[in-house]
Amino acid sequence: MSTTPSSARPVFPARGSHREARRIGALLRTESVGGILLVVMAGIALVWANSPLADGYFALRDLEIGYEPWHLRLSLGAWAADGLLAIFFFLVGLELKREFVVGDLRDVRTALVPVIAAVGGVVVPAVIYLLVVGPDPALLRGWAIPTATDIAFAVAVLAIIGSHLPSGLRLFLLTLAVVDDLIAIVIIGVFYTDDLNPMPLPAALLGLALYGALAQRRRGFFHRHRFAAWAILLPIGVVVWALVHASGIHATIAGVALAFMIPVAPDDAGADGSPGVGLAEEFEHRFRPLSAGFAVPVFAFFAAGVTVVGDGFVQTVTHPVTIAVVCALVLGKPLGIVAATWITTRVGRIRLGDGLRWLDLIGVGMLAGIGFTVSLLIGELSFPAGVAHDAAKTAVLGASVLAAAAASVLLGLRNRRYRAIAAEEEVDDDGDGVPDVYQREG
């Protein structure tokens, strides 16, 4: 039996650098606003789709525009899912590459717990879904619906209720969601690519290579000139996106591939000697408002409009897909994340840091049950229009609300506890300018 002192054991979540903490803080603020817009737009769509004017909503969603010879005559709903979400996945790709190249995930020991937790949060919900729907082959295709976490929605909830929660917990949620998105990207690319047409792929690869060469060799130019990326890289990216779409591969994969071509490492150090900002981080700063403030809310508007009133209401809410997705997101997500985390910390002899308790991680697991954006996308890819399609959307919306409510209660109570601890730490009875709690800790 090991006699390694507890102080020498790895700590989870790891305390990131000051630069990383600032970046995470800025990301939280941006995603919080985007999450609120997402909820507002989804609410508008839900109300409109169940109002006497519902025909107008569905007519707008199904309105087709675009150029048919290029396979781009799509409904507005499809443009939102295939086009606007490519912007969202471009940002996801930038975040993934940055985390694995220069972020906290470059260290295997730091990345181990959230990566395994994310895998647990994907596998357990999928298993629960399959167990609930049973052997019906028509419903099995939806197994991946409850595997994704909506980072914008989850962060919005966390920002509202978690003002005093430890920064390590926030970083764990973001890291978990980043890895979760990577798994979702792989799932979409592998399991939801139908009618593959390989003819456009060589041209797409050539366009991607040109895009990458320009981004790598002229990184300083694109860094200094803000509109150069819009004038040069964006048209090439649109062509790559269109070719990938024509190939039958879901076009959001193009967003990730384009992001992976953007260099992460900075060219020069900052004026104060600190590390400079890489082009990937610069692009994140420029384009995240477009994703969080426009692309994702518009997608939510077109995806969330499902009829939940009328004669089909009982049939929808009692449908096996509805029950399976709700159980998988609300129960399976926290169960998978916490169980995987517990096993990893026990096997790896990793101790919780920052005064965290397992209740905190259960709360984060509940937040991860908010599956909104990517779950709605996978629901659309899983089922054609019909009862199962509506059931999947209804389940994602309902489960996300339930998960957010449950996490808000638990993390709200934990936030009050951490607020009390912070107030105690500020006490300085002897007047030496140092909080007494730090003196007691030595």
Query: Number of folded domains in the chain?
Result: 2
**Quick one: 129 and 239 in the same domain?**
no
Reply yes or no on whether the pLDDT at 218 is more than 80.
Answer: yes
Residue 166 burial (10 A CB sphere; 0-12, 13-18, 19+): buried
Indicate the pairing of strand 11-12 with strand 74-75: unpaired
- What is the per-residue pLDDT for 6? 44
d(CA 220, CA 402): 46
Quick check: is 17 in a domain?
yes
Secondary structure element (H or E) that encloses residue 12, with its range? strand 11-12
- What is the per-residue pLDDT for 29? 53
Reply yes or no on whether the pLDDT at 55 is more than 60.
Answer: yes
Q: Which CATH number does the domain housing residue 333 bear?
A: 1.20.1530.10
- What is the per-residue pLDDT for 438? 42
Most distant pair of Cα atoms in the chain: their distance:
79
Grade residue 406 by pLDDT with cuts at 50, 70 and 90.
very high
Indicate the pairing of strand 74-75 with strand 64-65: antiparallel
- The answer to whether the beta carbons of residues 352 and 113 sit under 8 Å apart is no
**Quick one: 283 and 414 in the same domain?**
yes
d(CA 415, CA 418): 5
Reply yes or no on whether the pLDDT at 39 is more than 60.
Answer: yes
- What is the per-residue pLDDT for 353? 67
User: In this predicted model, which residue has the larger pLDDT, 18 or 164?
Assistant: 164
**Quick one: 50 and 66 in the same domain?**
yes
Quick check: is 211 in a domain?
yes
- Name the DSSP class of 248: T
Rounded to whole angstroms, what are the CA distances from 253 to 202, 257, 397?
Answer: 16, 6, 24
d(CA 142, CA 388): 9
**Quick one: 165 and 109 in the same domain?**
yes
- DSSP-assigned beta bridge partners for residue 74: 65
> Cis omega (within 30 of 0) on the bond before 297?
no
pLDDT averaged over every residue in the chain: 81
387 Cβ contact partners less than 8 Å away, ≥ 6 residues apart: 312, 315, 316, 319
Grade residue 427 by pLDDT with cuts at 50, 70 and 90.
low
Query: Is 292 strand, coil or helix?
Result: helix
- Mind listing the pLDDT tens digit for each residue in 137-162? 889 889 999 988 887 778 778 877 77
**Quick one: 314 and 204 in the same domain?**
no
For residues 406-420, average pLDDT: 88
Quick check: is 434 in a domain?
no
**Quick one: 34 and 61 in the same domain?**
yes
295 Cβ contact partners less than 8 Å away, ≥ 6 residues apart: 84, 85, 87, 88
Which of 398, 400, 373 is CA-nearest to residue 299?
373
- Ranking 14-23, 213-222, 235-244 by mean pLDDT, the lowest is 14-23
**Quick one: 225 and 254 in the same domain?**
no
Domain that holds residue 206: 198-246
- What is the per-residue pLDDT for 26? 54
> Within a 13 Å sphere around the CA of 48, how many CA atoms are in the beta-carbon half?
18
Name the percent of the chain lying above pLDDT 70: 83
Quick check: is 235 in a domain?
yes
d(CA 115, CA 146): 18
- Mind listing the pLDDT tens digit for each residue in 74-90? 889 889 888 888 888 89
- Mind listing the pLDDT tens digit for each residue in 165-192? 877 777 788 778 878 878 888 888 888 8
- Name the DSSP class of 311: T
- Mind listing the pLDDT tens digit for each residue in 188-209? 888 887 677 888 889 999 999 9
- The answer to whether the beta carbons of residues 9 and 350 sit under 8 Å apart is yes
Structure tokens at 381: 């890819």
**Quick one: 92 and 236 in the same domain?**
no
Reply yes or no on whether the pLDDT at 442 is more than 50.
Answer: no
Quick check: is 433 in a domain?
no
**Quick one: 81 and 104 in the same domain?**
yes
Quick check: is 53 in a domain?
yes
59 Cβ contact partners less than 8 Å away, ≥ 6 residues apart: none
Global pTM value:
0.77
For residues 312-316, average pLDDT: 76
**Quick one: 177 and 283 in the same domain?**
yes
- What is the per-residue pLDDT for 418? 82
- What is the per-residue pLDDT for 434? 46
161 Cβ contact partners less than 8 Å away, ≥ 6 residues apart: 408, 411, 412, 415
- What is the per-residue pLDDT for 247? 86
Name the percent of the chain lying above pLDDT 90: 22
- Name the DSSP class of 305: -
- Mind listing the pLDDT tens digit for each residue in 234-274? 999 999 999 988 888 888 888 889 999 998 877 654 444 45
How many CB atoms neighbour CB 412 within 10 A? 15
d(CA 260, CA 96): 8
Quick check: is 427 in a domain?
no
- What is the per-residue pLDDT for 441? 41
d(CA 15, CA 356): 12
For residues 311-316, average pLDDT: 74
d(CA 130, CA 10): 36
- What is the per-residue pLDDT for 30? 58
**Quick one: 129 and 155 in the same domain?**
yes
**Quick one: 211 and 170 in the same domain?**
no
- What is the per-residue pLDDT for 210? 95
Quick check: is 428 in a domain?
no
- What is the per-residue pLDDT for 437? 45
